Amino acid sequence: MTQSALAQDDAADAAPQSLTDGFHLLIDALRLNDIDTIYNVPGIPITDLGRYAQAQGMRVISFRHEQHAGYAAAAAGFLTRKPGVCMTVSAPGFLNGLTALAHATTNCWPMILISGSSEREIVDLQRGDYEEMDQLAIARPHVKAAYRILHAEDIGLGVARAVRAALSGRPGGVYLDVPGALLGQVMDAVEGEKSLIKVVDPNPASLPSPEAVTRAVDVLSNAKKPLIIIGKGAAYAQCDDKIRELVETLGFPYLPMSMAKGLLPDTHPQCASAARSLVLKQSDCVFLIGARLNWLLSHGQGPGWGEKGGKSFVQIDIEPTEMDSNQSISAPLIGDIESCATALLDAIGTTWKKPDESWTGAVRDKVIGNVEKMAPRLQNNNSPMDYHSALGVIKQTIADNPDTVLVNEGANALDLTRSIVDVIKPRKRLDVGTWGIMGIGMGSAVAAAVETDNQVLAVEGDSAFGFCGMEVETISRYNLPVCIVVMNNNGIYRGDGENWSGGKDPATTVFVPDSRYDQMMTAFGGVGAHVTNADELRQAIGEAFASRKPTLINAVIDPAAGRESGNIGNLNPQSVVAQARYPQART
């Protein structure tokens, strides 16, 4: 080989070292902004992006379906206060991920969905490309922000915009559109590094005005029967000590929404969960901390809230337009929760007078009475189990293992777990959130295990598990410490329904009787258990926790144990015509 040829060969070897491409710029931009985990489903055009990210030291968790990868990213955002990142292929993969992204936005959790897409010149002229879709336009109504990156030199800017949008103010979902050709674009490595942006202070403190604080203290101090409602926004804020100090200083009974459970222990003497009906109806002042007066609280209206106009409301929220959404807010506190709590404590000082014992004592007596009334139902060993006997075991399990992350979804399995199982520590409960969405279970369980390395216990209705059950393979593949309990009552709500026509098809809400969900886990190398009573359930969960192996417990529940629609049967439309035609509807 001539000297000239050698020089050319050396130059060719050296050239890649001075260049970079869209793949690596996107990975570098994410890593620069402290994002170290991607949840994804590989496929064209993002397959190699996942491989390169893994090679660069990122953790890449590959799922069987994009929706569950997205639910994992949403849960990760809630747990870490960093944008959870989900990566999908184009068109149908993007649409699958979009459900989870909208879920994150509705719940105010930071998440970024990155999807490959077709090139603009093909999409805009509708030339029929592979999986052609105007993904940016479809995403925009369902997210805080949506961006498309067309040039490699803009990748750093696009990622920075997405991170800041996801985290700033009220957090939410952001869509980042990445045309396939962008990933292969090449540019000078030095210039590429210069184009990256480290986001500084994406969500600065937002202090309430002094006038707003004074007004809030005045309203709170005049309350005779006050109540605090703590929402998952307070859990997300991660200012646990400050919230606890405020709640205990005020001395008000408090009601935690489901994902705020454990911010203060559910066993705390001020916790009014077991007296929910009493405190909602009889309170004269409601202080909302990171909670919204949406459907989960009957919009703050109706008979369950007592006499119309009989309450004043104080509310902390980062979003001004949240105020007065369903009730007139007498004292709005616009700002982040930690700043508002700090300002209130400073204003209250050391002379605060706690509410009269006639109110707090009545609430506490009601709590104690209801807990004592429930206790015997949680201690039976019937075979098959009812929900209460199964949840009595799970309640004790969480009490004995308070660092466990409890994931929960279903109808009866969700409603009863919420009301029965106490959570002791913050952010140790993940559930269906504001939308009441089905299928979050396995994605949330994976995220909880990956982000915390804690033992995870997923309590699933058999219907809910059907939405996401194939992800047990993902749990087994990554050998995650996840124990799944499927409450198997053979159907949706109840497993004893009948076809009202008398035809041969099963009822619309009935599944294959006596299904063995545990065998799904054993098929993938995990541990399966089939249990029919509380003692067997207790033993199976204990073995799963001791081994930290992926485990699925098929918990046989009496098919007649459930209730139609759990606690939201009132949302079912009623028809006098239908009830007249079908006598079964009246039973």
pLDDT at 587: 52
Please tell me what DSSP assigns to residue 509: T
Are 391 and 536 in the same domain? Answer: yes
pLDDT at 130: 79
Please tell me what DSSP assigns to residue 559: T
Q: Is the pTM of this model over 0.85?
A: yes
Are 171 and 244 in the same domain? Answer: no
What is the H or E stretch that residue 232 is in? helix 232-237
Are 24 and 134 in the same domain? Answer: yes
Please tell me which residue, 438 or 563, carries the higher pLDDT value: 438
In a domain, 586, yes or no: no
Instruction: Report whether pLDDT(3) > 80.
Output: no
In a domain, 578, yes or no: no
pLDDT at 425: 98
- The tally of CA atoms less than 13 A away on the side-chain side of residue 261 is 27
In a domain, 372, yes or no: no
Edge to edge, the sheet with strand 84-88 lists: 59-62, 37-40, 84-88, 111-117, 173-179, 145-148
Output the six-digit token pair for 73. Answer: 């990213």
Question: Nearest Cα to 552, choosing from 451, 450, 441?
Answer: 441
pLDDT at 273: 97
Please tell me what DSSP assigns to residue 385: B
**Which band of pLDDT confidence, cut at 50, 70 and 90, is reported for residue 567?**
low
In a domain, 580, yes or no: no
- Tell me the β-bridge partners of 528: 552
Are 98 and 148 in the same domain? Answer: yes
Give the total number of structural domains in the chain.
3
Instruction: Report whether pLDDT(7) > 50.
Output: no
Helices 66-80 and 441-452 meet at what angle, rounded to 10? 40
In a domain, 62, yes or no: yes
Read off the pLDDT of each residue in 179-202 and give the average, rounded to a whole number. Answer: 96
Q: Phi-psi category of 490—alpha, beta or left, where left has phi over 0 and alpha has psi -120 to 50?
A: left
Are 470 and 550 in the same domain? Answer: yes
pLDDT at 366: 97
Least confident of 109-113, 131-135, 312-316, 446-450: 131-135
Final residue in a domain of this structure, among 335, 364, 393:
364
Final residue in a domain of this structure, among 364, 396, 417:
364
CA separation for the pair 359, 226 (Å, rounded): 8
**Structural domain for 152, as ranges:** 3-195
Least confident of 27-31, 174-178, 232-236, 432-436: 432-436
Instruction: Report whether pLDDT(574) > 80.
Output: no
Please tell me what DSSP assigns to residue 210: H
Read off the pLDDT of each residue in 197-226 and give the average, rounded to a whole number. Answer: 97
For the chain, how big is the Rg over CA atoms in Å?
26
Terminal-to-terminal C-alpha distance of the chain: 92
Per-position b or e across 317-331, b if 16+ CB within 10 A of its CB? bbeeebbeebbebbb
Please tell me which residue, 15 or 303, carries the higher pLDDT value: 303
Do 448 and 515 meet the contact criterion of CB atoms below 8 Å apart?
Answer: no
Query: For residue 329, what is the domain's CATH number?
Result: 3.40.50.1220
Alpha carbon distances (Å) from 564 to 34, 419, 466: 45, 17, 18
Are 142 and 238 in the same domain? Answer: no
Are 419 and 391 in the same domain? Answer: yes
Mean pLDDT score of the chain, rounded to an integer? 93
> DSSP labels for 299-358?
GG-SGGG-STT--EEEEEES-GGGTTSSS--SEEEES-HHHHHHHHHHHHTT-PPPPPHH
Are 171 and 222 in the same domain? Answer: no
Are 400 and 353 in the same domain? Answer: no
- The tally of CA atoms less than 13 A away on the side-chain side of residue 298 is 14
Outline where DSSP puts E strands in 5-93. Answer: 19-21, 37-40, 59-62, 84-88
Per DSSP, the three-state class of 587 is coil
**Which band of pLDDT confidence, cut at 50, 70 and 90, is reported for residue 582?**
confident
**Which band of pLDDT confidence, cut at 50, 70 and 90, is reported for residue 72?**
very high
Edge to edge, the sheet with strand 254-256 lists: 254-256, 226-230, 285-289, 312-317, 331-334
Paired sense of beta strands 551-556 and 482-488, if any: parallel
Query: For residue 135, what is the domain's CATH number?
Result: 3.40.50.970
* pLDDT tens-digit readout, 456-474: 999 999 999 999 999 999 9
In a domain, 322, yes or no: yes
> DSSP labels for 84-104?
EEEEE-STHHHHHHHHHHHHH
Instruction: Report whether pLDDT(11) > 50.
Output: no
Read off the pLDDT of each residue in 380-401 and give the average, rounded to a whole number. Answer: 96
In a domain, 370, yes or no: no
Are 385 and 486 in the same domain? Answer: yes
Per-position b or e across 97-126, b if 16+ CB within 10 A of its CB? bbbbbbbbbbbbbbbbbbbbbbeeeebeee
Final residue in a domain of this structure, among 141, 165, 195:
195
Q: Where are the alpha helices (DSSP H) in 140-206?
A: 155-167, 180-184, 189-195
Instruction: Report whether pLDDT(13) > 70.
Output: no
Instruction: Report whether pLDDT(568) > 80.
Output: no
Are 98 and 167 in the same domain? Answer: yes
Do 313 and 296 meet the contact criterion of CB atoms below 8 Å apart?
Answer: no
> Position of tokens 């006499």?
307
CA separation for the pair 419, 26 (Å, rounded): 44
Instruction: Report whether pLDDT(14) > 60.
Output: no
- The tally of CA atoms less than 13 A away on the side-chain side of residue 165 is 19
**Which band of pLDDT confidence, cut at 50, 70 and 90, is reported for residue 586?**
low
Instruction: Report whether pLDDT(16) > 80.
Output: no
> Position of tokens 């100090």?
245
pLDDT at 502: 86
Q: Say which amino acid occupies 342.
A: T
Are 400 and 510 in the same domain? Answer: yes
Per DSSP, the three-state class of 583 is helix
Question: Nearest Cα to 435, choosing from 150, 76, 104?
Answer: 104
CA separation for the pair 566, 443 (Å, rounded): 23
Instruction: Report whether pLDDT(394) > 50.
Output: yes
> Position of tokens 């949680």?
378
Question: Nearest Cα to 488, choosing from 451, 527, 537?
Answer: 537
Read off the pLDDT of each residue in 306-315 and give the average, rounded to a whole number. Answer: 92
pLDDT at 15: 56
**Which band of pLDDT confidence, cut at 50, 70 and 90, is reported for residue 349?**
confident
- Tell me the β-bridge partners of 322: none
Instruction: Report whether pLDDT(127) > 90.
Output: no
- Mention every residue, 6+ apart, whose C-beta is less than 8 A from residue 410: 459, 460, 461, 462, 463, 464, 487, 566
CA separation for the pair 355, 344 (Å, rounded): 17
In a domain, 587, yes or no: no
Instruction: Report whether pLDDT(343) > 90.
Output: yes
